[in-house]
Amino acid sequence: YSEDTRIIRVPSSSRISPNLMLYAFKEGADAIILGDCVKKSSRFPWSKEMTEKSLEIVNEKLKSAGIDGRRVVFSEFSAGALNYFLNIVNGMAENLKQYERIKETQRKEL
**Residue predicted with more confidence, 20 or 4:** 20
pLDDT at position 97 is 92
pLDDT at position 71 is 97
Q: Between vectors from CA 82 to CA 3 and to CA 41, what angle results, nearest 5°?
A: 125
Angle between helices 18-26 and 47-64 (to 10 degrees): 40
Look at 54-63, 68-77, 78-87 and tell me which has the smallest mean pLDDT: 78-87
Closest CA to 102 of 32, 2, 19: 32
Please say if the pLDDT value at position 1 is more than 90: no
b vs e for 21-46, b when ≥16 Cβ sit within 10 Å of the residue's Cβ?
bbebbeeebebbbbbbbeeeebebee
Query: pLDDT for 11-50, tens place per residue?
Result: 889 999 999 999 999 999 999 999 988 877 777 778 889 9
Please give the model's pTM, rounded to 2 decimal places: 0.88
Query: pLDDT for 83-109, tens place per residue?
Result: 999 999 999 999 999 998 999 999 999
pLDDT at position 41 is 76
